[in-house]
Protein backbone atom coordinates (compact mmCIF):
# COMPACT_ATOMS: atom_id res chain seq x y z
CA UNK A 1 0.00 0.00 0.00
CA UNK A 2 1.13 3.57 -0.55
CA UNK A 3 0.50 6.29 2.00
CA UNK A 4 0.45 9.87 0.72
CA UNK A 5 0.16 12.97 2.90
CA UNK A 6 -1.61 16.12 1.74
CA UNK A 7 -0.43 18.58 4.38
CA UNK A 8 -2.43 21.56 3.10
CA UNK A 9 -5.67 19.60 3.58
CA UNK A 10 -4.61 17.63 6.70
CA UNK A 11 -5.37 14.41 4.85
CA UNK A 12 -3.67 11.05 4.52
CA UNK A 13 -4.53 8.87 1.52
CA UNK A 14 -3.92 5.13 1.74
CA UNK A 15 -4.30 3.27 -1.53
CA UNK A 16 -2.79 0.67 -3.85
CA UNK A 17 0.96 0.49 -4.27
CA UNK A 18 2.08 3.41 -6.44
CA UNK A 19 4.03 2.76 -9.63
CA UNK A 20 6.18 5.89 -9.25
CA UNK A 21 7.68 7.92 -6.43
CA UNK A 22 6.08 11.13 -5.23
CA UNK A 23 7.03 13.56 -2.47
CA UNK A 24 5.33 12.83 0.85
CA UNK A 25 4.46 9.24 -0.12
CA UNK A 26 5.56 6.07 1.62
CA UNK A 27 5.08 2.40 0.80
CA UNK A 28 3.64 0.29 3.62
CA UNK A 29 3.00 -3.41 4.07
CA UNK A 30 -0.63 -4.48 4.50
CA UNK A 31 -0.30 -4.92 8.28
CA UNK A 32 0.99 -1.38 8.83
CA UNK A 33 -1.51 0.06 6.35
CA UNK A 34 -4.39 -1.47 8.29
CA UNK A 35 -3.09 -0.16 11.66
CA UNK A 36 -2.47 3.37 10.35
CA UNK A 37 -3.47 6.23 12.63
CA UNK A 38 -3.20 9.94 11.85
CA UNK A 39 -2.85 13.04 14.02
CA UNK A 40 -5.96 14.41 15.67
CA UNK A 41 -7.93 16.58 13.25
CA UNK A 42 -6.61 14.79 10.15
CA UNK A 43 -8.75 12.79 7.72
CA UNK A 44 -7.89 9.39 6.27
CA UNK A 45 -9.02 8.33 2.82
CA UNK A 46 -8.68 4.59 2.34
CA UNK A 47 -8.91 3.45 -1.26
CA UNK A 48 -9.94 -0.15 -1.74
CA UNK A 49 -7.36 -2.43 -3.31
CA UNK A 50 -8.96 -4.54 -6.02
CA UNK A 51 -6.73 -7.59 -6.34
CA UNK A 52 -8.54 -8.71 -9.51
CA UNK A 53 -7.18 -5.68 -11.38
CA UNK A 54 -3.49 -6.27 -10.84
CA UNK A 55 -1.31 -5.47 -13.84
CA UNK A 56 -2.08 -3.57 -17.02
CA UNK A 57 -5.50 -3.77 -18.65
CA UNK A 58 -6.11 -4.67 -22.28
CA UNK A 59 -6.62 -0.96 -23.01
CA UNK A 60 -3.23 -0.14 -21.44
CA UNK A 61 -1.53 -2.75 -23.61
CA UNK A 62 -3.21 -1.48 -26.78
CA UNK A 63 -2.10 2.09 -26.05
CA UNK A 64 1.49 0.89 -25.61
CA UNK A 65 1.33 -1.18 -28.82
CA UNK A 66 -0.05 1.78 -30.78
CA UNK A 67 2.71 4.05 -29.45
CA UNK A 68 5.39 1.52 -30.45
CA UNK A 69 3.89 1.20 -33.96
CA UNK A 70 3.77 4.98 -34.32
CA UNK A 71 7.39 5.39 -33.20
CA UNK A 72 8.54 2.62 -35.56
CA UNK A 73 6.66 4.22 -38.45
CA UNK A 74 8.26 7.61 -37.74
CA UNK A 75 11.75 6.04 -37.61
CA UNK A 76 11.19 4.25 -40.94
CA UNK A 77 10.11 7.50 -42.61
CA UNK A 78 13.10 9.37 -41.16
CA UNK A 79 15.53 6.68 -42.38
CA UNK A 80 14.13 6.72 -45.91
CA UNK A 81 14.43 10.52 -46.05
CA UNK A 82 18.02 10.38 -44.80
CA UNK A 83 19.00 7.58 -47.19
CA UNK A 84 17.54 9.47 -50.18
CA UNK A 85 19.26 12.73 -49.30
CA UNK A 86 22.63 11.07 -48.63
CA UNK A 87 22.64 8.71 -51.61
CA UNK A 88 25.74 10.31 -53.13
CA UNK A 89 27.69 10.31 -49.86
CA UNK A 90 27.04 6.57 -49.39
CA UNK A 91 28.95 5.41 -52.48
CA UNK A 92 30.20 1.87 -51.98
CA UNK A 93 28.23 1.32 -48.74
CA UNK A 94 27.90 -2.35 -47.70
CA UNK A 95 26.52 -3.16 -44.28
CA UNK A 96 28.38 -1.13 -41.67
CA UNK A 97 31.43 -0.54 -43.88
CA UNK A 98 31.71 2.40 -46.27
CA UNK A 99 34.16 3.24 -49.02
CA UNK A 100 35.26 6.86 -48.94
CA UNK A 101 36.06 8.27 -52.40
CA UNK A 102 39.34 10.16 -52.70
CA UNK A 103 39.70 13.47 -54.51
CA UNK A 104 43.04 12.91 -56.31
33-69 per-position pLDDT tens digit: 889 888 899 999 998 766 665 667 778 788 888 888 8
Domain boundary assignment for the chain: 2-48, 58-85
Question: How far, rounded to the nearest angstrom, does the alpha carbon of residue 53 sit from its chain's CA centroid?
Answer: 18
Predicted TM-score (pTM) of the model is: 0.46
**In 3-state terms, what secondary structure has residue 92?**
coil
pLDDT score recorded for residue 57: 76
Q: Which of 42, 18, 39 is nearest to 28 (CA)?
A: 18
Amino acid sequence: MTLTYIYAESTAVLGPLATFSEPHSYDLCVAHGQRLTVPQGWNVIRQEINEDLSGPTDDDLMVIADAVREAASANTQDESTISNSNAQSNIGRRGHLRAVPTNY
